[in-house]
Amino acid sequence: MNKIVLAIVFLLCLPALSSAQQKNAFIDPTTGVLKAVGYVEANGAGDIKIPVATNFNLKPGEWKWDGKNWTAVTLPLDPLTDLAFAIDAALAAPNVAPEVKIVLLKLRNVLGK
C-alpha cells in the first residue's frame, strides 16, 4: 500500500519536476540576439523564451535567432549593448544580492536596452 501511494505521489509531481528541468534560451525581441540561457522560466521583461536541449551551449551575445536557425553575430556590438548583456546575465544569476539587482535594473533602464 505504501509503495502504491508513493508511486501516485511521484507521478503527480513528475510534471512539475520535468518543467523545472527544462533549459531555456532567452532572445532579445528587437535584435534577436541570445541574451541568456538557463533553467528558469523567465528572464527580462519582453524576452522571447525558447526551449533548448540540455547540451545547448551557445554564448549569449554571440548568437542570433532568426525564428528557425541560430547564426553567429558577425557585426561587432556596441559597448552599451555588451554592457546590457552583462547586466542581464547578472540579473539572471541566482547568487547576486537583491540590492545589487536593484542597482543593475536602474542602470539598465538608464541605458534604454
Give the model's pLDDT for residue 16: 53
More confident residue, 70 or 1: 70
Per-residue pLDDT reduced to its tens digit, 40-95: 888 888 899 999 999 999 999 899 998 899 999 876 667 777 788 788 888 888 88
Distances (CA, A) of 9 to 21, 39, 61, 94, 108: 18, 24, 42, 29, 43
Give the model's pLDDT for residue 5: 58
Average pLDDT, the chain: 82
Give the model's pLDDT for residue 111: 77
Using CA atoms, how far apart are residues 17 and 44, in angstroms rounded to an integer? 23
Where do the domains of the chain lie? 22-111
Using CA atoms, how far apart are residues 95 and 26, in angstroms rounded to an integer? 19
| pTM to 2 decimal places | 0.53
